[in-house]
């Protein structure tokens, strides 16, 4: 049978000076303008190719690491921060880490601890109630950051992180800034730049904290199945090698940062989106408060909150906090008539995939109904990828969704919330995260 020839298509892109001029904007927003101007693949100067079409993204992410590796300049920065953690590990090490932690992060296992999560959320609300009573304007992004750290400590480590909250916020802020700054260049850590000196200190600080946590963790019954104990029992025994302990530290650092910062940013962006669309916040509040006071949260509680679910999913469509995935082409790659040269970096924009006008009507509009109609069930899964795609999809997706849903539902149960809408200003970080989300809180007396 004669092969069907696909028409060759040239990859277009801005002039180098125009690309560099726009690079002062936050990358996700800059990339979105590039998609609107140049289409599904954009050549971004000599630096990288921007991928905006979901089918092309799927083709790349489904391929083996030997074809598209994590050796691009962004992944090198991430590796500098997280070392041998699962985000950047590869080959047999990555496979062994995934096998070790998959059971911990399964939907079934995580939801066994739903009451523990609810207890931690209620503990965090003690501070919220004090602020509400004072009538202060609060920064929701800061409050949910603290909540996310404390919840990660309890659920992943079975450990009270109260005395480490400020330290972890500072450490993650430095690490995520380092990963985002200076694109598209990478300098090895041994070069004594000011940022590298700060990062080395941060790495020493987090190792010191993790050492204390590891020594204090109680990994006897019934807590031996927490993520921290799984890692400690597998890699942190007296007979473990220095390499195994390094892997353990890096994996704990990765999972703690992942349990905190992405969840915190997601909650902040969802609240921000609801501040832009207060009518949907009202709909969610009505739905949540229609449930009985003694409503029992189970592993499938999500189906009881269809409006809330649709609003959360739509906010995550508009603002996928992990807005890009980076790879380096190890082969000359042909897709849909385009050619990506060997040894070129590619940036898959999840932000652009979620706003691609071919697949989303009114892509810039907040329309939760698109996740409630029958059409949404027919939507290809790779058109909506807030947690990535392929075998390296985020292992913590069930964890993040559970914490996000429970936090939002519990908040609407216990507080009247008025979000003060402001123009979006984001942090200089590796994720989309607002600098602040101001709101008025009023505790509902029961």
Q: What sign does the dihedral 66-67-69-71 (CA atoms) show?
A: positive
Check residue 173 and give its pLDDT: 84
The answer to whether residues 310 and 372 touch, using CB atoms and an 8 Å cutoff, is yes
Question: Which pLDDT band, with edges at 50, 70 and 90, does 136 fall under?
Answer: confident
Average pLDDT of the residues of the chain: 91
For the chain, the structural domain boundaries read 16-443
Closest listed residue to residue 12, CA positions, set 338, 389, 375: 338
Beta strands in 132-272 (DSSP E): 137-139
Per cent of the chain over pLDDT 90 is: 64
Is the pLDDT at 91 greater than 90? The verdict is no
pLDDT average, residue stretch 337-348: 94
**How far lies 342's CA from each of 56, 90, 129, 331, 346, in Å?**
16, 20, 56, 5, 11
Question: Which pLDDT band, with edges at 50, 70 and 90, does 1 fall under?
Answer: very low
Q: Identify the helix (H) or strand (E) that includes residue 325.
A: strand 324-329
How far apart are alpha carbons 276 and 268 in whole angstroms?
13
CATH 3.40.50.300 fits 16-443, yes or no: no
Can you give the pTM of this predicted structure? 0.94
Check residue 184 and give its pLDDT: 64
Q: Which residues pair with 439 in a beta bridge?
A: 138, 419
């Amino acid at each position: 049978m004669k092969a069907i020839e696909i028409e060759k298509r040239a990859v277009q892109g801005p002039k180098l000076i125009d690309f560099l001029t726009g690079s002062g904007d936050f990358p996700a927003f800059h990339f979105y303008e590039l998609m609107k101007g140049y289409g599904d693949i954009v050549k971004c100067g000599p630096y990288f190719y921007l991928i905006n079409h979901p089918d092309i993204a799927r083709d790349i992410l489904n391929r083996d690491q030997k074809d598209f590796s994590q050796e691009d300049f962004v992944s090198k920065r991430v590796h500098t921060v997280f070392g041998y953690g699962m985000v950047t590990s590869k080959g047999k090490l990555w496979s062994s880490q995934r096998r070790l932690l998959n059971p911990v992060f399964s939907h079934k296992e995580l939801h066994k601890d739903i009451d523990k999560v609810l207890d931690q959320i209620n503990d965090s609300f003690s501070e919220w109630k004090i602020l509400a009573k004072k009538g202060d304007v609060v920064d929701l992004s800061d409050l949910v950051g603290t909540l996310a750290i404390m919840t990660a400590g309890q659920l992943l480590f079975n450990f009270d992180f109260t005395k480490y909250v400020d330290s972890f916020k500072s450490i993650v802020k430095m690490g995520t800034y380092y990963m985002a700054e200076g694109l598209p260049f990478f300098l090895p850590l041994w070069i004594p730049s000011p940022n590298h000196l700060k990062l080395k200190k941060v790495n020493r600080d987090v190792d010191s904290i993790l050492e204390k946590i590891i020594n204090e963790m109680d990994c006897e019954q019934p807590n031996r199945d927490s993520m921290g104990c799984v890692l400690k029992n597998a890699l942190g025994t007296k007979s473990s090698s220095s390499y195994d302990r390094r892997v353990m530290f890096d994996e704990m650092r990765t999972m703690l940062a992942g349990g905190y910062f992405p969840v915190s940013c997601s909650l902040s962006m969802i609240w921000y989106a609801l501040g832009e669309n207060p009518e949907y916040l009202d709909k969610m509040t009505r739905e949540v408060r229609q449930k009985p006071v003694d409503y029992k949260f189970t592993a499938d509680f999500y189906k009881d909150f269809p409006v809330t679910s649709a609003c959360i999913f739509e906010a995550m469509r508009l603002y996928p906090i992990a807005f890009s995935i980076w790879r380096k082409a190890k082969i000359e790659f042909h897709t849909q008539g385009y050619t990506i040269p060997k040894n070129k970096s590619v940036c898959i924009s999840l932000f652009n995939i979620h706003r691609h006008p071919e697949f989303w009507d009114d892509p810039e509009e907040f329309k939760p109904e698109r996740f409630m109609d029958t059409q949404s069930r027919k939507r290809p899964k790779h058109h909506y990828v807030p947690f990535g795609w392929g075998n390296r999809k985020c292992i913590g997706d069930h964890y993040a969704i559970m914490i996000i849903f429970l936090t939002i539902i519990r908040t609407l149960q216990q507080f009247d919330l008025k979000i003060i809408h402001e123009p979006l200003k984001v942090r200089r970080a590796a994720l989309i995260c607002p600098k602040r989300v101001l709101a008025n809180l009023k505790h509902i007396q029961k």
